Amino acid sequence: MSRIDDELEQAVSDAGGDRDEDIPGGRIGPGGASASGTSNQATGGDDTRPVVADTEPNQRSWGLLVGLCALGAGILVLVFNSTDEAVVYAYGVKDLNAKAAELGERQVRVIGDLVSGTLTRRDDPCEYRFNLRHTGDKAGETLEVHYAQCVVPDQFRDVKGVQVEVTAEGRLASGGHLEASKIFAKCPSKYEMKESAQAMGTPPEHGGGAPKPEFIAPRAEGIR
């Protein structure tokens, strides 16, 4: 073997020894890759971390959901209670008297004709009292109404010879009368006043029109 062959063999031997040298983190393998580097690649590298459930956002979401449900339930209760309170049942005088025990203190509305001559007033404390009769009836059962206010609508007048239709809204009291919180009166038309005057034999005004309305002032006595 020549000297040149000996030198080549030595160079190859030296090169093989360099590849097997230890380096930090593992041995260098063929192609210059370390054993530890190969292991990291097999397991996903240093970026791979254990997955941990994020419970805090979930707890916040559940708390928000529970709060919204409670708010919705409260709104529904308020709406139903308000609706029940706002319900008004309308009756004629006869029907209301017949169902008084069944209705109790429920909010009601009654429509009837003012019984002429029953309107009384008290100034201290302010209160009006009057009787209503079933609409269109000339006689029969009546309903007493108490209205604890100082002012009444302008159309609420006791007019001689004219049927004044009144709507009262409130609650039935234990004594059988209606404690009204609102009253409305339908102002009779000239034609209605003329018909009423003719039915009672009252002479018409000059020109054949309805007579001038004769208002009956409320009595100042009769209320204790």
In a domain, 69, yes or no: no
Is residue 62 situated within a structural domain?
no
Q: Which pair of tokens denotes residue 82?
A: 């308000």
The burial of 83, by beta-carbon neighbours within 10 Å (0-12 exposed, 13-18 middle, 19 or more buried), is given as exposed
Report the distance separating Cα 159 and Cα 200, nearest Å. Answer: 13
Please indicate, yes or no, if residue 56 is contained in any of the structural domains: no
- SS3 state of residue 177: coil
The answer to whether the beta carbons of residues 188 and 161 sit under 8 Å apart is: no
205: alpha, beta or left? (left if phi > 0; alpha if psi -120 to 50): beta
The verdict on residue 161 lying in a domain is yes
Predicted pLDDT at 136: 86
- Percentage of the chain exceeding pLDDT 70: 55
Residue 112 falls within a domain, yes or no? yes
- Domain count for the chain, please give it: 2
Q: Up-side HSE of residue 156: CA atoms within 13 Å toward CB?
A: 23
Domain that residue 26 falls in:
3-42
Residue 211, preceding peptide bond in cis (omega within 30° of 0): no
Res 30 pLDDT > 70: no
The CATH number given to whatever domain includes residue 139 is 2.40.50.140
How would DSSP label each residue in 32-63?
Answer: G-BHHHHHHHHTT-TT-------HHHHHHHHH
CA distance from start to end of the chain? 148
Asked, for residue 200, whether it belongs to a domain, the answer is: yes
- Compare 219 and 128 and report the one with higher pLDDT: 128
What CA–CA distance (Å, rounded) separates 130 from 132? 7
Decide which of 149 and 221 is more confident. 149
Residue 8 lies in a domain: yes
- Indicate if 18 and 98 belong to the same structural domain: no
What's the pLDDT score for residue 206?
45
Please tell me the distance from the alpha carbon of residue 86 to that of residue 82, in angstroms, as a whole number.
6
**Statement to judge: residues 35 and 93 lie in one domain:** no
pLDDT of residue 219: 87
Measured over the CA atoms of residue 190, residue 194, residue 200 and residue 205, the dihedral's sign is: positive
Task: Pull the structure tokens for residue 99.
Answer: 């169902």
Residue 32's pLDDT band, with cuts at 50, 70 and 90, is very low
| Residue 48 banded pLDDT, cuts 50, 70, 90 | low
